């Protein structure tokens, strides 16, 4: 038996509905073509019904045979036309004009046109309509194919590959954190369907640095693409090997160490020249791919380093690349909208030290656990002012341990303590390094804010420093973090108030400087939303790149590169979202997300009917359960009307007709959904349950 909801004290149970002594033969409801259902109900619709083996009830066995094509209880004068066969549909326009408008609005949404036509729109969460190659446009066998699989319509999921004949080289394999449109998803990874079919051709995966938006998808896709060799620097190698420990079923990685200046022949036609670029994690590497059509330069994520006098350092290597000739420059666009130059990391360190010295109580610094360079400097400052450093957050502890092992973080003995030891020291002798600067619900900072941390509770006068930029899309969650800290009496510093964060992504003026040094023939903005990439394209034109040589591609598009051309073809490969949810990879599709969004927005209504299998009679009042829609105790009128309509629908089924559960569910879903929308202008997900006895 199904447990009743505590909200339906009068919504469940009751006396059985008595059958009428005599009832005239009533024409059953006419089945019309299913109109497009509202988002909350369409995904809940049952699959097409497969008729059960014929089982006659005792009463049905006594009836004379029916004319083929005529239902029991249906007049022989049934109209011959049917809407599915081009005929008219009597009753489809029945009711008053207001009722017809309400039905149209319920099915298609407010303001929807009366015409039935709809336009298919591209969704990143579902398969993109594949564009067939023009019959007159044949693949160029001598071209290098460049294909972005991610990073061009979002922040994260960075991945692209180069293909020449039967050789493929992949650059990065990152993940993307979930969006508002992907509730319940852990993260999103690149779609490797095309690569999986050609895994025998993959010569290498190049990882530019150790941030998860460039390496995070590796454990999920390696087995599918044949576990090719991976080329990475020492810290990137250590991070991906540590992450692999969480995936015991993933294949053992074949990682080849590289360093700045290495030139490695990856295959017959691809050679990689590695060069260092400044970023927020050590050993970030750019790569020049030497190909049959010319040199393709991928700069990874980068910024330029300035000293206190504003002089830029490290341009010599970039000048050298420019002298070698650059066919295509793939350039980071994350900060391309911002004018000016990168903030010096020395300026950030100086401002952090001033804040730390002025703090009277505990200090908590929230930042990305992968900002190894920044974290190393914070630990040095803490040692200088006599504070112990407590590490909060699994990834923070893991990354600092890796950085210590490789010599990138050098802390004196006794400086680093566990959070359990905080109570042993005075407040003005403690600095806490924690994750969660983006307001992630499961990160260390949010546990502190929500009072869920066992060892750290916020005290009035505590100083919290948010030393990171706000990732586009996280503005609301970061604002919530600042509000909740301030409510509890904390003193909050963030990068909008003082320069306590230097972005790892070059702004417009720095990008322009690099373009002038490289002098590329073609430029392809990557790593960012379309608006960011368009801004980068404008910077390229201002820096001397011909207008027609700037290419703004989208994920999944294929470009063919020859010595003198960069042509974006009409051909595409699958690049829609592959979502990771718990242990499932790719099993959460758009229909599941639509249900989740519908439940979050409109709630659900469960209708439980107990019926006589043979007679089609209700044996008890319908049980009704509401979750996230209405509170049943306060809406008795709506509840009574739902029951009344259910009884009315059930009495329209002839008492000699065996109940078809799928038919009843569809009828309830449509009719009750229509009533609820007319009454409340809301579309809850309706889940009918028919129990046959």
Phi-psi region of 62 (alpha: psi -120 to 50; beta: other; left: phi over 0): alpha
Kindly give, in sequence order, each residue whose CB lies less than 8 Å from that of residue 272, ignoring residues fewer than 6 positions away: 169, 204, 206, 231, 262, 263, 264, 266, 287, 288, 289, 290
Q: Which ranges constitute the DSSP H helices of 519-560?
A: 530-542
Q: Is 466 exposed, middle or buried (0-12, 13-18, 19+ CB in 10 A)?
A: buried
According to DSSP, the residues that pair with 176 across neighbouring strands are: 188
If we measure between CA atoms, which residue out of 231, 253, 228, 226 comes closest to residue 242? Answer: 253
Q: How far apart are CA 374 and CA 358, in angstroms?
A: 20
Q: Which ranges constitute the DSSP H helices of 6-118?
A: 39-42, 58-61, 97-108
Positions annotated as catalytic residues are 332, 505
Instruction: Provide the 3-class DSSP secondary structure of residue 423.
Output: helix
Cβ–Cβ < 8 Å for 395, 327? no
Instruction: Provide the 3-class DSSP secondary structure of residue 549.
Output: helix
Burial 144-164, CB ≥16 within 10 A → b, else e = bbbbbbbbbbbbbbbbbbbbb
Helix axes 234-244, 394-406, angle to 10 degrees: 140
Q: How far apart are CA 102 and CA 99, in angstroms?
A: 5
Kindly give, in sequence order, each residue whose CB lies less than 8 Å from that of residue 165, ignoring residues fewer than 6 positions away: 141, 269
Q: Is 216 exposed, middle or buried (0-12, 13-18, 19+ CB in 10 A)?
A: buried
């Amino acid at each position: 038996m199904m447990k009743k909801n505590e909200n339906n004290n009068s919504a469940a149970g009751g006396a059985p509905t008595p059958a009428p002594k005599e009832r005239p033969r009533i024409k059953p409801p006419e089945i019309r073509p299913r109109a497009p259902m509202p988002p909350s109900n369409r995904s809940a619709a049952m699959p097409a019904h497969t008729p059960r083996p014929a089982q006659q009830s005792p009463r049905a066995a006594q009836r004379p045979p029916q004319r083929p094509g005529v239902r029991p209880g249906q007049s022989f004068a049934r109209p011959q036309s049917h809407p599915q066969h081009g005929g008219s549909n009597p009753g489809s326009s029945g009711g008053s004009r207001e009722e017809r408008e309400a039905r149209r609005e319920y099915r298609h949404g407010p303001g929807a046109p009366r015409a039935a036509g709809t336009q298919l729109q591209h969704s990143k969460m579902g398969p993109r309509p594949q564009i067939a190659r023009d019959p007159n446009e044949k693949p160029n066998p001598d071209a290098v194919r460049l294909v972005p699989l991610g990073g061009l319509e979002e922040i994260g999921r960075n991945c692209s590959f180069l293909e020449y004949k039967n050789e493929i080289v992949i650059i990065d394999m990152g993940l993307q954190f979930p969006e508002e449109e992907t509730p319940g998803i852990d993260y999103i990874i690149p779609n490797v369907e095309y690569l999986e079919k050609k895994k025998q051709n993959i010569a290498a995966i190049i990882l530019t640095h150790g941030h998860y938006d460039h390496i995070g998808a590796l454990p999920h896709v390696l087995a599918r693409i044949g576990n090719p060799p991976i080329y990475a620097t020492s810290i990137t190698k250590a991070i991906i090997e540590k992450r692999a420990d969480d995936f015991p079923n993933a294949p053992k990685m074949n990682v080849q160490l590289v360093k700045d200046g290495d030139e490695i022949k990856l295959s017959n036609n691809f050679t990689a020249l590695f060069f260092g670029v400044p970023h927020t994690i050590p050993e970030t590497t750019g790569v020049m791919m030497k190909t049959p059509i010319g040199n393709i330069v991928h700069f990874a994520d980068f910024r330029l380093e300035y000293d206190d006098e504003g002089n830029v350092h490290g341009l010599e290597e970039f000048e050298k690349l420019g002298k070698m000739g650059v066919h295509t420059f793939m350039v980071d666009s994350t900060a391309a909208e911002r004018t000016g130059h990168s903030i010096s990391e020395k300026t950030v360190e100086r401002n952090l030290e001033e804040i730390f010295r002025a703090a009277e109580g505990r200090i908590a610094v929230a930042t990305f656990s992968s900002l190894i360079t920044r974290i190393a400097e914070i630990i040095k400052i803490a040692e200088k002012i006599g504070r112990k450093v407590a590490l909060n957050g699994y990834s923070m502890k893991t990354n600092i341990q890796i950085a210590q092992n490789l010599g990138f973080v050098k802390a004196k003995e006794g400086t680093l303590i566990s959070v359990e030891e905080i109570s042993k020291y005075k407040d003005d002798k403690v600095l806490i390094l924690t994750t969660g600067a983006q307001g992630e619900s499961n990160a260390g900072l949010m546990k502190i804010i929500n009072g869920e941390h066992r060892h750290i509770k916020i005290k009035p006068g505590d100083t919290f420093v948010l030393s990171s930029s706000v990732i586009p899309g996280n503005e609301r969650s970061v604002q919530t973090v600042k509000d909740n800290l301030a409510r509890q009496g904390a003193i909050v510093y963030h990068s909008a108030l003082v320069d306590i964060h230097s972005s790892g992504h070059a702004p417009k003026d720095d990008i322009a400087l690099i373009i002038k040094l490289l002098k590329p023939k073609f430029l392809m903005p990557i790593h960012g939303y379309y608006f960011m990439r368009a801004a980068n394209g404008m910077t390229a034109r201002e820096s001397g790149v011909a207008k027609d040589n700037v290419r703004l591609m989208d994920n999944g598009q294929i470009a063919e590169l020859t010595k003198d051309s960069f042509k974006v073809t009409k051909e595409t490969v699958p690049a829609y979202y592959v979502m990771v949810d718990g242990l499932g990879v790719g099993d959460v599709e758009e229909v599941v997300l639509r249900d989740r969004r519908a439940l979050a927005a409109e709630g659900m209504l469960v209708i439980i009917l107990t019926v006589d299998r043979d007679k089609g009679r209700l044996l008890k009042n319908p049980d009704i359960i509401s979750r996230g829609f209405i509170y049943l105790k306060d809406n008795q009128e709506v509840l009574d009307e739902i029951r009344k309509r259910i009884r009315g629908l059930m009495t329209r089924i002839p008492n000699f007709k065996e109940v078809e559960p799928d038919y009843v569910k569809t009828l309830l879903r449509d009719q009750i959904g229509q009533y609820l929308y007319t009454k409340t202008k809301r579309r809850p997900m309706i889940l009918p349950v028919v129990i046959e006895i």
